[in-house]
Amino acid sequence: MINQRYAKITGWGKYVPERVLTNDDLAQMVDTSDEWITTRTGIKERRIRTENDTTSSMAVAASREALKVAGLSPKDLDLIIVATSSPDYLLPSVASQVQDMLGAECGAFTLVAGCSGWVYALTAASQYIISGAYNRVLVVGVEIISFALDFTDRATCVLFGDAAAATVVEASNEPGGLLSFELGSDGSGAMFLYVPDGGSASPISQRTIDERRQYLRMDGPEVFKFAVRTLASSLKRVIYQAGLTPDDIDLFIPHQANARIIEAAARQMRVPLDKFYINLDRYGNTSAASVPLAMVEAFEEGRLKDGDLVAMCAFGAGLTWASAVVQVGTGEISTAHSLFSVGRARYLARRASDAVLDTAQSALLPLYTFLYQRRRKK
Ligand code: UT7
């Protein structure tokens, strides 16, 4: 009998640059105010890289912390996935730089899915683990988005910040870890959030510099509508897919783009707002680092304990979105969660019936093949 494998988060760490840029600082640079930014977004301050920070160095700092929490050395890793839209260079892949700087001896790749990147990467890492291919995968979300911000454009420069967060995902035979997920893409909205120049479609030219086309452009209200539409509906789908209800979820970790988007989702789901983790007031939107940074801080603040069920959702450039339900904790699931949650029991029952069906189908396969061949011979 083959043991079911589960992918669990066993280590976490973060790195945020020292430099703090407040709303009042920004009001000195563009025509804005602390009042506008706070009421329209909930953001009070964000971190901006110093001259010592690169995407790779920030990813490595967060990864070292995550490995320490997991009790692993870089050589124990089977794979590294770095989610980012702001790598050190177009080539090489920043994941290879991270692998080398850590001293790991494994494959590494960069995953680009805008702000949804880390949740995409978490689900990818989990598939390598659940399939039995790998046992330990490092999943990083990192962004120096400030390099792509136009600090003369008040509509975008007030929203984002730089940060890195890393998680170690490991194989386990105890139920838990990633329970369900949804990945989404709607490329018809690509131009709502994009950087016009610097890719192969429109390489850097004099026009780039003259028209500031190397910087991020966003149709805020369009992305806002997409985000409000997506956050609550995608969260509900992954929660039901895991055999749970919103009431079973201990903590919601939404993408930290705008407090108004999170409040709208909480209202639509009829979930109290204090069940939604929010740290965007201190960091702004850190893109691919946003959800893992929030998760790391939730662990650090004791908002997450073994057995807790977390529902997360990220959305952004692409347009993309990615949601997941994860049961945190590395050991056995506490009795409170395994016995008293109807949703959890439903989930385990469904997994068991799927396993029985899989086994039955595998056992019957030679018979089907034999009957099929006999029919063809006739
Ligand atoms: O991770 C990627 C996902 N990104 C997002 O989720 C962002 C989603 N969008 C948003 O969060 C919001 O659309 C924004 C915060 C970007 C903008 O808020 P809004 O309430 O949609 O404002 P708006 O763009 O409709 O602009 C309203 C007014 C405009 O002035 P007029 O035309 O009414 O005179 C803007 O020019 O606010 C003005 N404005 C500002 N005023 C002061 C825009 N940015 C600023 C600013 N300071 N920083």
| Pocket test residue of 31, 85, 224 for ligand 1, highest count of atoms within 8 A of CB | 224
Q: Give φ, ψ of 233 to 5 degrees.
A: -70, -40
Beta bridge partners of residue 79, listed in sequence order: 107, 137
Q: Which of 153, 178, 203 is the last residue of a domain?
A: 178
CATH number at residue 199: 3.40.47.10
pLDDT on residue 3: 76
- Set 115, 157, 279, 313: catalytic member: 115
- Of 175, 181, 183, 182, give the one whose Cα is nearest residue 344: 175
Whether 32 is in the pocket of ligand 1, judged by its Cβ within 6 Å, is yes
Dist. CA 325 → ligand 1 center (Å): 31
pLDDT on residue 307: 94
Whether 220 is in the pocket of ligand 1, judged by its Cβ within 6 Å, is yes
pTM: 0.88
Examine the domain organization and report whether 293 and 277 are in the same domain: yes
Residues whose CB falls within 8 Å of the CB of residue 266, separated by 6 or more in sequence, listed in order? 252, 272, 273, 275, 276
Examine the domain organization and report whether 168 and 223 are in the same domain: no
d(CA 113, CA 246): 26
d(CA 284, CA 250): 24
Atom 23 (ligand 1): residue with closest C-alpha?
221
H or E segment to which residue 338 belongs: helix 335-340
Atom 28 (ligand 1): residue with closest C-alpha?
155
Examine the domain organization and report whether 167 and 237 are in the same domain: no
Examine the domain organization and report whether 111 and 138 are in the same domain: yes
Q: Which two structure tokens, joined as six digits, stand for 193? A: 């959030």
d(CA 125, CA 117): 12
Q: Domain tally for the chain? A: 2
Examine the domain organization and report whether 251 and 336 are in the same domain: yes
- Set 157, 258, 285, 313: catalytic member: 285
3-state secondary structure of 268: helix
Q: Give φ, ψ of 127 to 5 degrees.
A: -65, -40
CB 16 within 8 A of CB 163: yes
Q: Which atom of ligand 1 is nearest to the CA of 287?
A: 1
Q: Which two structure tokens, joined as six digits, stand for 297? A: 């801080």
Dist. CA 48 → ligand 1 center (Å): 21
What is the span of the domain harbouring residue 222?
180-377
pLDDT on residue 372: 58
Q: Which of 178, 206, 234 is the last residue of a domain?
A: 178
Strand 79-83 with 136-143, pairing = parallel
Buried/exposed code over 277-301 (b: 16+ C-beta within 10 A; e: otherwise): bbbbebbbbbbbbbbbbbbbbbbee
Examine the domain organization and report whether 215 and 361 are in the same domain: yes
Atom 17 (ligand 1): residue with closest C-alpha?
220
Whether 221 is in the pocket of ligand 1, judged by its Cβ within 6 Å, is yes
- Of 25, 23, 48, give the one whose Cα is nearest residue 38: 23
d(CA 294, CA 266): 17
Examine the domain organization and report whether 122 and 76 are in the same domain: yes
Catalytic residue status for 285? yes
Q: Which two structure tokens, joined as six digits, stand for 293? A: 């940074």
Distance (Å) of CA 39 to CA 82, 83, 265, 268, 274: 33, 30, 17, 20, 18
Catalytic residue status for 279? no
CA angle 179, 181, 187 (to 5 degrees): 175
pLDDT on residue 333: 38
Examine the domain organization and report whether 259 and 357 are in the same domain: yes
What does the pLDDT profile of the chain (378 residues) look like in tens digits? 567 999 999 999 999 999 999 999 999 999 999 999 999 999 999 999 999 999 999 999 999 999 999 999 999 999 999 999 999 999 999 999 999 999 999 999 999 999 999 999 999 999 999 999 999 999 999 999 999 999 999 999 999 999 999 999 999 999 999 999 999 999 999 999 999 999 999 999 999 999 999 999 999 999 999 999 999 999 999 999 999 999 999 999 999 999 999 999 999 999 999 999 999 999 999 999 999 999 999 999 999 999 999 999 999 999 999 999 999 987 543 333 443 444 445 545 655 665 565 566 556 666 656 665 666 666
Whether 155 is in the pocket of ligand 1, judged by its Cβ within 6 Å, is yes
Examine the domain organization and report whether 63 and 191 are in the same domain: no
Whether 36 is in the pocket of ligand 1, judged by its Cβ within 6 Å, is yes
